[in-house]
Chain A
Amino acid sequence: MKKIVIYIFLALLPFMFSGCKDYLDVTNAGQSDDNFVMSSPGEAFKALSWVYAEYRTNAAAGGNYNWQDPLGSDAEYMSEYPSVNNVIARLQPGATTVNTDMGIYNSLNVALARASRVADLIGAKAEYQSDVKGSVPTSWTQLYGEAKTLRAYLAWELVRHFGDVPYGYENQVVTTYTLTSRFEIMDKIIADVKAVEGKMFVLGQGGITAERISRTFANALIGEIALHAGSWQTIRTDIIGLYGTVQFDTKGADDALCVYARRKDYIEYIKVAEQYLGAAVNTQSGTAKLITSDTRSVNNPFQKHWQEINSRRISPESLFEIGCVAGIGNAEYGYSMARPGSNSSVNSYLNTFAAIRIIPSFFYNSYETGDMRRDVSMVISGSNAATGQENLIPLGVGTRIGGGGPSINKWDKNRGDVPLYTNATFRSSGINYVILRMADVMLLLAEAKADLGSDNAGALTLVNQIRTRAFGNSSKNLSGLSGDALLDAIYNERKLELLGEGAIRWDMIRSGKFNERAIAIRKEMADMTAGLQASGYYTFPSGRTISNYVWTKYVQIGGNVATVTQTPVDTDPAQYPGWRGIYNWGIAAYTATARNLAIQGLYTYIDPAGTAATALVASGYTRANWGITVWNDANAKAMLNAAILDGVVGRENNAPRYFHPMPLTVIDQSKGKVTNGYGLPNK
């Protein structure tokens, strides 16, 4: 018996050891190797599809909560109070916590690494290597350029918002790393995109729409990065040797942490900016163009861009949009970045937080009469989701239609051609994120030209194209400007054109005049507040007047229960200002038969004790608090004081501190080599 056991054992022995290697080599049909994924351009794009989507879901969707770019300038602010959602916008680095921006920092790095991986895999393919020797772009050279440019764009987002960061460590096990100079990073990504853009499709070529990265966008991106690299910014002074041999001119005092600076050889970068922004506007623009005609009766080509965006279509003016799908989450346009709504279960789709608010003095004093951008860009009424009516948004502390006063109007759920879509839920409007549009690129090009000083006429031509569109004619065109006056005019035009789009804060930084502009807007608000308190009204240099009170009344327009209004009709208080109103949502709970709002006394003073006021009340108007809130409500006063760039107070002669903190993991594992600067937390 024993022997039999031994024989069986001996017989089995060879089988026990043979094949064991195979047994432990497991496979999974749901998992594929690199060759499988890179088998065709269509398959390879799916790997890039993930990168675009990661950026949409975890970076763009964080929107102003992450970057706060459109919440802290001399035109925009945020009215939530007290709040930790706008401390970077206010320039208060000490009031943030180390992991505040962990999500977006990680997301950008993860997406960047994936774009790198895809680019490396395509670059290694025989098909690509053969195609790239040819003279025309192919699917493979486009995809390679797309991956490289996407990577550069993500690196640019990191550099812009976090400053100097660890760079070049993707897709490997890393135990030692350090900070890389932002200037070195920008040099590298500019070189990367320069190397690939020539073999990419311009917009409209090869089936490439603005929802993908094209040669057109690649050119503009090179220009934008170069312009930033050669402009004023806050650099660190607490790390010796960080910037290598780069020499700087500085403004104001160094507080031993940071200083406001521009590299001495900046002009070389501005030249690159002019060359590539010029290519994006002229030779490589493809189908992207400034919308200058409008066949609708309203004839407002500026508004046409926003009509396209609100209708969930790609705008012909866009160089790059992040593609969203209605009903799928992650659309901040229509939620935190849109015309205010309220939070009610009756119509939860209208729940619109509306973080981007317009500084009241800017609302009154910025746009010239006849500028068709004014009402398209700013609004003082929002959607009441409970009643389906248009409500006045009071000034003072609050979110949605509960407070904050003037708000961004460029995105409005009432506005699209077909506002109601299937499965409409809030935060899933399907409105694309416009990353760059032609008007922005043209004004950046004008800035580069003005910086160089070699083509002032060209700069003015560009600005005047924008102004002609805004006014409908050339009557308000600028002429004869040069030097600082020209630059100031360009920055002002950018403010009027790009309000709420996250550009103004960066313009302030680049201009080298951040503190001056911050102090000026704070003074403008202080003057307005004092005037209101003293007289009950305050008239701005623009001729418009803010008063303690306005009068409102629900009305019908042309017999309609609810109307989305269009171009302003000066004679109708329900259509002046224009581009507001409310869509008829067709909800049974909405029983009011008059849902549009007539407003009186918004721009001119009506004496509350006078006969005009009495007549208004007699005709059904109600008096509402307006300007009085900014001086009579202590909370509102404190909020406005804090929310409008209060980080400049006491630091008038120091650098603006606008950067975001890198997360704890990056600090902790660096063995002391990586720290957050600018007074940001490290623990």
Chain B
Amino acid sequence: MRISGQKYPANFTMDNAFAMISQYGANLVISSGVSTPNRLQSYFGRANYSLLDKYMFAATFRADGSSNFSPEHRWGYFPAGSIAWRISQESFMKSIKNLDDLKLRVSYGEVGNDAISADQWSQLWAATSDTRWQYGLNKLLQPSYDLASAQLANRDLKWETTITRNIGLDFSLYNRRLTGTVDVYQNSTKDLLMLTDIPSITGFTTSYANIGQTSNKGVEISLSGTILRNKDWSITASANINFNRGNIDKLADGMQSAYGTQFLQSGIPNADYKLLVGKPVGIVMGYQRDGKGFYTPDDFDFNSTTGMYTLKTGVADLSKAFVAYRAGLVPGSQQAYPGLPKFVDNVKDDVIDDKDMVEIGNTNPKSTGGFNLNVIYKSFDLGMYFNWSYGNDIYNANKLATLYNINKGGGLYGNKLAIVKDSYTNYQIQSGNLVKLTTPDQLNAANTNATVPSTFLQQGYVSDIGIEDGSYLRLNTVTLGYTLPKQVLSKIKISNMRIYGSIYNAFTLTGYSGLDPDVNTSQNVNSSRYPTPGLDWGTYPRARQFVIGLNVTF
């Protein structure tokens, strides 16, 4: 490769010229870039002390300096410590029967995070190589300088700190036939370091900021035990359960609380998630279905002469935001028509608009857990591994997306989910012709089984039609194996051989209508900066796998 540039002014050093080759030489289609290094400097100390094998102490302390922060905020100090007390070793415990081991643990720890790029606290300039940001004079592109970072510099940025606090109990009973742990924890992350939207009146649309504090507290219990063990049988089981409560403890002043997945592109509302102090991350905002969720002829006075549907007094109308064009004959500025979605008018002003939006879903489970069962009978072995989630909502965006007409004509012949067949219809095929249904009797007769509104709105919307109970129980893995007798194998000089069959994702018990209640939509699919847990939008469902295997040891 050969590159050239010329006529650099005197203030360019050789390094400048190599880093900004595009700055001189007319119409030179060439560019270069150098990234700013990230540097970290750390000091670390540790002390361990153990007394009589009963009392154990550990402490660490680290100091970290990061080039990603301004000189005033470079250094973070992170202590951690733990104490363990083996209670079962105490003399007063010796009298308790069947107790093999009992240990109490207490720990506290802080760790820091500086995972941002290095250019966030100062606002320097850099050469532009993208022609979109090079002006044209007399049909020639002009070199330009942009700011090196698109984010508003924040000199006050500092380390994000995660503090973990934990009290735990480990126990073992009945000659280790029953073991378990109980943990109670409260973890918090303060000075959360995130890219955040800021109002563009600053000249920037994003900035890194220490945006607030979140915490998780909860209890984790796990037990495992041997149910039966003899010459032919061995049955063991284990189970764990976790009750976690997330919380937003505080948000920085002026932090944006509403944020959107924008799966609807230009839907209503634009921001479908909300950060609320005192609530967990994962609150979904939207409209509540009123009654069946769509207008029926009963909501209107029908004029059989003109064919006009006039809303009855007290029935709220839709705002213009929902309907790009009229569905049928309606008076004045009325938008509502049989089949259009009908929502609860929470502020009672007879019009459904953004003031009527409420919290419609919480995607956090009340509890999650799993249990395993292992059975060995002679040469056969069986293992089953279950997991479950209880009490969480899933935000089924796939379902909501199928309820509107994405991309106008571009959606022609596009696939739709099966629920569309249950949607309200204003048309019917009669003797081979598509006929528009206009009278209440025609509409009622054609829509006795309708469960969702008409799907021909150009504007998408978020409503509780898309919020579903996401509880599930899944048999994640089931394995059945058979180990061939040793005496057979020894003749062919094989020390061990096992044949087995496994099914992964064997079955799921759930009321969720989507493909997989264990949703894991990538946050990058959405344009949101903050997490959107529980969103099902284009999630690829987990496959069911059948595996047959052979283990051979020579």
Interface of chain A: mostly helix, strand, loop or mixed: loop
A100-B9 Cα distance, complex, nearest whole Å = 44
Residue-wise, chain B 229-258 has the 8 Å CB interface mask toward A (1 for contact) of 000000000000000000000000111111
CB contact under 8 A between A82 and B139, given known A50-B133, A664-B258:
no
A105-B38 Cα distance, complex, nearest whole Å = 34
Q: Is A484 interfacial (CB-CB < 8 Å)?
A: no
Residue of A nearest to B133 (CB): A53
The segment from B82-90, B123-131, B306-314, B368-376 found at the interface with A is B123-131
Min distance, Cβ B438 to any Cβ of chain A, angstroms: 14
Residue of B nearest to A116 (CB): B203
Min distance, Cβ A436 to any Cβ of chain B, angstroms: 18
Contacting residues, chain A, for B18 (C-beta < 8 A): 29
CB contact under 8 A between A46 and B270, given known A83-B324, A97-B321:
no
Q: Is A170 interfacial (CB-CB < 8 Å)?
A: yes
Residue of A nearest to B21 (CB): A30
Residue of A nearest to B332 (CB): A650
* CB-based contact B325/A29 at 8 Å: no
Interface residues of A in 598-623 (CB under 8 A from B): none
Q: Is A124 interfacial (CB-CB < 8 Å)?
A: no
Contacting residues, chain A, for B458 (C-beta < 8 A): 82, 84
The segment from B93-101, B145-153, B338-346 found at the interface with A is B145-153
Contacting residues, chain B, for A328 (C-beta < 8 A): 131-132, 136, 141
Contacting residues, chain B, for A37 (C-beta < 8 A): 125, 145
In the complex, which of the residues B142, B253, B357, B459 contacts A175, with contact meaning CB atoms closer than 8 Å?
A: B253
Q: Is B291 interfacial (CB-CB < 8 Å)?
A: no
In the complex, which of the residues A95, A113, A325, A329 contacts B203, with contact meaning CB atoms closer than 8 Å?
A: A113
Interface residues of A in 313-338 (CB under 8 A from B): 314, 323-326, 328-330
Interface residues of A in 500-530 (CB under 8 A from B): none
Q: Is A99 interfacial (CB-CB < 8 Å)?
A: yes
Contacting residues, chain B, for A314 (C-beta < 8 A): 138
Contacting residues, chain A, for B201 (C-beta < 8 A): 109, 165-167, 169-170, 174, 177, 666
Residue-wise, chain A 91-117 has the 8 Å CB interface mask toward B (1 for contact) of 010111111100001100110111011
Residue-wise, chain B 35-67 has the 8 Å CB interface mask toward A (1 for contact) of 111110101000000000000000000000111
A84-B405 Cα distance, complex, nearest whole Å = 13
CB contact under 8 A between A97 and B127, given known A32-B145, A56-B135, A668-B258:
no
Q: Is A670 interfacial (CB-CB < 8 Å)?
A: yes
CB contact under 8 A between A665 and B256, given known A49-B135, A95-B320, A112-B203:
yes
Interface residues of B in 199-218 (CB under 8 A from A): 199-205, 207
Contacting residues, chain B, for A94 (C-beta < 8 A): 319-321, 353
Q: Is A24 interfacial (CB-CB < 8 Å)?
A: yes
Q: Is B20 interfacial (CB-CB < 8 Å)?
A: yes
Chain A contact residue count (CB 8 A cutoff): 92
Min distance, Cβ B288 to any Cβ of chain A, angstroms: 15
* CB-based contact A110/B37 at 8 Å: no
Residue of A nearest to B38 (CB): A26
Interface of chain B: mostly helix, strand, loop or mixed: loop
Residue of A nearest to B323 (CB): A95
A33-B143 Cα distance, complex, nearest whole Å = 17
* CB-based contact B203/A683 at 8 Å: no
Min distance, Cβ B286 to any Cβ of chain A, angstroms: 11
In the complex, which of the residues B119, B132, B353 contacts A53, with contact meaning CB atoms closer than 8 Å?
A: B132
Contacting residues, chain A, for B353 (C-beta < 8 A): 94, 681
* CB-based contact B200/A97 at 8 Å: no
The segment from B261-269, B393-401, B481-489, B510-518 found at the interface with A is B261-269
Q: Is A255 interfacial (CB-CB < 8 Å)?
A: no
* CB-based contact B137/A323 at 8 Å: yes
CB contact under 8 A between A175 and B254, given known A28-B36, A683-B269:
yes
Q: Is A593 interfacial (CB-CB < 8 Å)?
A: no
In the complex, which of the residues B119, B128, B199 contacts A177, with contact meaning CB atoms closer than 8 Å?
A: B199
In the complex, which of the residues A39, A52, A92 contacts B320, with contact meaning CB atoms closer than 8 Å?
A: A92
Interface residues of A in 653-670 (CB under 8 A from B): 663-666, 668-670
| Residue of A21, A24, A30, A171 most packed against chain B (CB within 10 A) | A30
Min distance, Cβ B158 to any Cβ of chain A, angstroms: 14
* CB-based contact A668/B39 at 8 Å: no
Contacting residues, chain A, for B20 (C-beta < 8 A): 30, 32
Min distance, Cβ B65 to any Cβ of chain A, angstroms: 5
Residue-wise, chain A 39-53 has the 8 Å CB interface mask toward B (1 for contact) of 110110111111011
Q: Is B522 interfacial (CB-CB < 8 Å)?
A: no
* CB-based contact B324/A84 at 8 Å: yes
* CB-based contact B199/A665 at 8 Å: yes
A211-B38 Cα distance, complex, nearest whole Å = 41
Residue of A nearest to B203 (CB): A113
A326-B138 Cα distance, complex, nearest whole Å = 11
Contacting residues, chain A, for B133 (C-beta < 8 A): 50, 53-54, 57
Q: Is B197 interfacial (CB-CB < 8 Å)?
A: yes
Q: Is B492 interfacial (CB-CB < 8 Å)?
A: no
* CB-based contact A40/B325 at 8 Å: no
Q: Is B15 interfacial (CB-CB < 8 Å)?
A: yes
Residue-wise, chain A 432-445 has the 8 Å CB interface mask toward B (1 for contact) of 00000000000000
* CB-based contact A324/B136 at 8 Å: yes
Q: Is A417 interfacial (CB-CB < 8 Å)?
A: no
Q: Is B292 interfacial (CB-CB < 8 Å)?
A: no
Contacting residues, chain A, for B324 (C-beta < 8 A): 82-84, 95
Please name the 10 residue pairs, one residue from A and one from B, whose CB atoms are nearest each other, closest first.
A113-B203, A30-B19, A29-B15, A683-B354, A323-B136, A94-B320, A49-B144, A106-B200, A109-B200, A30-B34
Given A28-B148, A49-B144; 20 other pairs, CB 8 A cutoff = A24-B39, A25-B67, A26-B118, A28-B34, A30-B35, A32-B20, A47-B125, A49-B134, A53-B133, A94-B319, A99-B270, A105-B200, A106-B205, A113-B202, A113-B203, A171-B203, A328-B141, A650-B332, A666-B200, A669-B256
Which residues of chain A have a CB within 8 Å of any CB of chain B?
16, 20-21, 23-34, 36-37, 39-40, 42-43, 45-50, 52-54, 56-57, 81-84, 92, 94-100, 105-106, 109-110, 112-114, 116-117, 165-167, 169-177, 209, 211-212, 312, 314, 323-326, 328-330, 430, 638, 642, 650, 663-666, 668-671, 681-683
Which residues of chain B have a CB within 8 Å of any CB of chain A?
9, 11, 13, 15-16, 18-20, 23, 32-39, 41, 43, 65-67, 71, 74, 118-119, 124-128, 131-148, 152, 154, 156, 197-205, 207, 253-258, 260, 266-271, 319-321, 324-326, 332-333, 353-354, 357, 408, 458-459
Could you list 30 A-B pairs, sorted by A, with CB under 8 Å? A20-B41, A23-B39, A24-B39, A24-B67, A25-B71, A30-B126, A30-B148, A39-B9, A49-B145, A54-B133, A81-B325, A82-B324, A83-B408, A166-B201, A170-B203, A171-B203, A173-B202, A174-B199, A175-B254, A211-B136, A314-B138, A323-B135, A323-B138, A650-B333, A664-B271, A665-B205, A669-B256, A681-B321, A683-B271, A683-B357
